[in-house]
Amino acid sequence: MADTTRTQMATLRQLTKIINDSLDTIEATYTTAGVHLPTLNTPSFSPTDPSEALRADPAVAKATLDVMAAAAQLSAEVCSPLTMMLNASQSFYIASCLNVASELNVVEILKEYGTKGLHVNEIAARCKAEPGLLSRILRLLATHHVFREVTPDVFANNRISAVLDKGQSAADLFAKPEDRFNKATGVIALAEFFSNDILRCSAELTATILDPKPNVYPYNRAFNTDLPMYYFLQRPENAYRLKRFALGMQGTETTGSLSEGVLGGFDWDSLPTGGVVVDVGCGNGHVSLSVAQKHPKLKIINQDLEMQVAQAKQHWQTELPSHVENQLVEFQEHDFFKPQPVKNADVFMMRFIAHNWDDAKLAHILQNLRDAAKPTTKLVILDKIQLFAARAPAGGDATLVLDAGAPQAQEPLLPNWGIGNTEYYFFDIGVHIMLGGGERTLPAFVAVLEKAHWRLEKVYRPKGSHQPHLVAVPI
């Protein structure tokens, strides 16, 4: 028993050492840069503020990830399992309360009052909510470090809640709710999509497992539709949902650099002048736009369903009209489950498409691309590669060698950094809930590519980005 206690205490002290060493790294980096470390109680947030921008420094980013992972693992080690389990089983309340605060524009109301905050009665009067309930909602969020309760029933923004600031006055937001989001506030649209639509769907997860039906996923049950989510969103009555979802997907770029994530992996310079890049399932077209801005010699073909293609065309006409005028970009309405019409592609690019579909459907999409590919065509998949929560044994799956640059946390941390990288695993369940897909490990990617007659050639992990590039060639 004593040896077990000593071993366990050694593990706990290793975790605390990781935290302390990481804090030393953060302190040293901020001191050298002459920048103050931001405090939680600051009532505003700007990603361009020097104190926030320094978080992208590789040393700070790695130290922050280690702190998050070690602190969460330390809590799990010492906390009562009963408490941990019950807290986890009720964590959905955080999402639902966050959605209330965002849709009632509480952040925008509070930003007028800075650090002194505003009494909940005044907040409730402006957003037409019941004060007692709103107070409890905000207190739950403040307990989880979203908002701050300055004095009893007086609330203020902090750095975390301020992320939800849509950049407009509360009065304007209430007057024109249909204009609540734009491309600059996509991450807030994403948060509302998760905490509304996906929260609603998640309650149906168990039912779809216990009573499985072909092509029926939690989204279908929650919204009572036989249509896949992307097709359901095309219906006129879902125009707002589609706009919010599209801006939310664009908002994923605020969690990392688009230029590094898209341009820092596959060698786009290797393509010839006039080389054809097909953005399969382009959405707003912002990913292929970044390629064209950096590599104007390339011809871009954006493909998606009707409403997405219309949005992509509008986006390009605003951001890169010269490419449109010079006919260096084409917009095609195309369903990627149907035969691919472009037969001269140098690259088929798919970003955040593969994870939406199960293996059978993804293999169908990839086979359509393979059937249209030239012998020299490259398939570039920009998607997350799910890391294992266990360390791979020596002599394990040979495919993992293709991803020799895959990150791995030091012991005794979980090799995938646990809670520090939890967004990977949230997305995994989220895409299953929406469309039946999921994030794949590298061996899973290799297997589905081979089914569609593609061979994984290389994995790029762009510096400063969590968005790997999987490059495959025809076989």
Q: Has 119 been annotated as catalytic?
A: no
- Residue showing tokens 């706990």: 12
Other CB atoms within 10 A of residue 377 CB: 22
Residue 197 per-residue DSSP state:
I
Q: CB neighbours of 251 closer than 8 A, spacing ≥ 6? A: 185, 186, 187, 188, 189, 190
Active-site hit among 355, 364, 432, 469 = 355
Put residue 157 in one of left, alpha, beta given phi > 0 → left and psi -120 to 50 → alpha.
beta
| Sign of the torsion formed by the C-alpha atoms of 258, 262, 264 and 265 | positive
- Residue found under tokens 């990617």: 445
Cα separation values, 183 from 38, 166, 284, 382, Å: 26, 11, 10, 21
Q: Which residue intervals of 196-344 are DSSP H helices?
A: 199-202, 205-210, 218-223, 229-232, 239-251, 258-263, 286-294, 306-319, 321-325
**308 and 284 Cβ atoms separated by less than 8 Å:** yes
3-state secondary structure of 396: coil
Q: Which amino acid is at 323?
A: H
Is 385 in contact with 33 (CB distance < 8 Å)?
no
Beta bridge partners of 332: 303
State how beta strands 469-474 and 454-460 pair: antiparallel
> Which residue numbers are catalytic?
355
